[in-house]
Amino acid sequence: MAELELVFWGMLGLLLFIYLGYGFAMALVSKFVQPFPKSWASTHGLPSVCVVIPAYNEAACLPAKLANTLALDFPFDLLSILVVTDGSTDGSEALHFPDARVQVLHQTQRQGKSAAVNRALGFSSAQITVITDANTLLNPEALLALTAPFQWSSIGAVAGEKRVQADPGNSTSSEGLYWKYESRIKHWDARFYTIVGAAGELFAFRTSLFKPLEPDAILDDFVLSVRIVEQGFRVAYAPTALATEQASPNLQAEWKRKIRIAAGVFQSLPRLELPKKPFTWPRAWLVFVGHRWMRWMLAPPLLLFFLFSHLCLGANNQGVWLFSAGIHLGIYAWALLGVALNRFQLKIPLFYMPMYFLMMNAAMLAGALRYMQGKQSVLWEKVRP
């Protein structure tokens, strides 16, 4: 059993590194790294900005979204807005926006967000393109915060901070806690070198660096940000540029979203160069492996093997191993109880954290299966509350 104990402790150490150790190490290392080089960009003053809003059947959100965007603290003559309503059947394309800075692009065929972004970029002549979702609201200084890092010539893109609002009793309230932790790690990643994978709720990039996305790309934001890094630029982080959205309305919607993301991961990785070339972009590759790849590819199966090894040790030993294996099983039972309570609409947040953590990892396995079966469409269907 000594070999099994060694395997157990090795897996435990690796899991702790994936979820805690990487963040701690990046926080420590980033303190000794200059966040941006001292060279300034050749242009001065604020750049022109085009805000792209992909909006499929978002008639209920668009009036508030446009009012929010037009009210942002940014010069009138430097801002333009493109709303892409391709395929919408709820009257989105017929909504009237009196401001001349707003242009609606519409075609009857729906091809997905990546195709919508590709089409919008053909109409943009602004120096900076900002992509934001129709169901997110931005704080007044969001555009000023997003454009500030472009003063440095090495910055190719800037990610904003995603904020998730949820009723504390909502079964997906743990999503907000997760994003707070993610935001801190992104801050450290950007200081160390670059973010690898930005949230599509609020993402800005130099328009000149845009390369058309594959029309079937599921994770457009991830692919777009990595390909900017592959051109030798960095993706900065603007924690004061806030994109606020509501948490998923229920557990079913969050499960569906996580599986879609996971399927997108397995689709994207073979198409990208960064994972294959550690010596070409060494610091970006370290961020990618530590923050993304290990969580996506290593942690989900590792959790299963870790549980199996613990149960084996508990079954063959008395005392501490048996007791600790019982606690391990109890955590899974705790998570399953959270699922059961959600079914009966009993709002006890204490049970949601382990449920959300295990659900994220289970979704990676389910997403891998869905991708291999070719069942994940590029088209996203929302689950309404």
Q: Is residue 203 one of the residues assigned to a domain?
A: yes
The position carrying tokens 């790849």 is: 293
Q: Is residue 303 one of the residues assigned to a domain?
A: no
Rounded Cα distance between 203 and 146, Å, is 8
Handedness of CA 164, 201, 57, 268 (dihedral sign): negative
How many separate domains does the chain show? 1
DSSP character at residue 169 = T
91 lies in which domain range?
A: 49-254
Rounded Cα distance between 11 and 296, Å, is 16
Query: Reduced to 3 DSSP states, what percent helix, strand and coil does the chain have, rounded to the nearest 5?
Result: 55, 15, 35
- Residue 16: strand, helix, or coil: helix
Rounded Cα distance between 203 and 236, Å, is 10
Cβ count near 290 (within 10 Å): 21
- Residue 382: strand, helix, or coil: coil
Residues 6 or more apart whose CB falls under 8 angstroms from that of 291 comprise 22, 26, 185, 189, 196, 197
366 burial type by CB count under 10 A (0-12 exposed, 13-18 middle, 19+ buried): middle
Residue 125's CATH number: 3.90.550.10
Q: Is residue 91 one of the residues assigned to a domain?
A: yes
Q: For the whole prediction, is pTM greater than 0.75?
A: yes
- Residue 191: strand, helix, or coil: helix
Q: Which two tokens stand for residue 211?
A: 């390369």
Long-range contacts formed by 64-71: CB under 8 A, 24+ apart: 64/137, 65/134, 65/135, 65/136, 65/137, 66/97, 66/99, 66/102, 68/137, 68/138, 69/132, 69/138, 70/99, 70/101, 70/102, 71/140
- Direct distance between the N- and C-terminal alpha carbons of the chain, in angstroms, rounded to an integer: 50
Q: Is residue 274 one of the residues assigned to a domain?
A: no
The position carrying tokens 């969001």 is: 142
Q: Is residue 259 one of the residues assigned to a domain?
A: no
Handedness of CA 32, 37, 38, 43 (dihedral sign): negative
Per-residue pLDDT of the chain (385 residues; tens, 9 = 90+): 688 889 999 999 999 999 999 999 999 998 888 766 655 555 568 999 999 999 998 989 999 999 999 999 999 999 999 999 998 988 888 888 888 899 999 988 888 899 999 999 999 889 999 999 999 999 999 999 999 999 999 999 999 998 877 655 554 555 566 777 888 899 999 999 999 988 778 999 999 999 999 989 999 999 999 999 999 999 999 999 999 987 776 777 788 888 999 999 999 999 999 999 999 999 999 999 999 999 999 999 999 999 999 998 888 876 788 888 898 998 888 888 877 877 776 666 676 778 888 888 999 999 998 888 887 776 666 544 4
